[in-house]
């Protein structure tokens, strides 16, 4: 990490996801677990979930020693918005293939921002 940097933030938009998967905690929890495992992150406790009523989606937040991982889903649009901030350097993660596998995403946009 370059002197003065304070980590990287990733902003991920997953489009074309299976709406049923975006309404249930289990698929998003599995995604969170894979991200945490693969990137060797350190949760400070279990993720917190809010499931919106009816055909709504959900919001998930995972507090990490490195910072946080969040997801907000919009089943009516087949869209999942994820944010990951890490204060330590991490390698690239295959967002597109993993989101296709776990959520059925057809189009994934990943933007990264160096912080600090």
Cα–Cα dist 48/33, whole Å: 13
Pairing of the two strands 8-15 and 79-86: antiparallel
Active-site pick, 17, 67, 71, 86: 67
Q: Has 87 been annotated as catalytic?
A: yes
Q: Has 3 been annotated as catalytic?
A: no
Cα–Cα dist 35/107, whole Å: 19
Which neighbouring-strand residues pair with 22?
none
DSSP state of 45: S
Active-site pick, 17, 71, 72, 86: 72
Q: Has 68 been annotated as catalytic?
A: no
Active-site pick, 87, 97, 106, 109: 87
Residues annotated as part of the active site: 67, 72, 87
């Amino acid at each position: 990490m370059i002197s003065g940097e304070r980590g990287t933030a990733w902003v991920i938009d997953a489009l074309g996801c299976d709406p049923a998967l975006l309404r249930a905690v289990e698929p998003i929890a599995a995604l969170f677990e894979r991200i945490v495992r693969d990137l060797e992150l350190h949760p400070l406790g279990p993720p917190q979930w809010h499931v919106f009523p009816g055909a709504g989606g959900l919001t998930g937040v995972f507090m990490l020693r490195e910072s946080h991982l969040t997801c907000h889903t919009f089943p009516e649009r087949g869209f999942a918005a994820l944010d990951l901030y890490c204060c330590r350097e991490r390698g690239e993660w295959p967002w597109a293939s993993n989101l296709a596998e776990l959520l059925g995403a057809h189009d994934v946009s990943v933007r990264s921002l160096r912080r600090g």
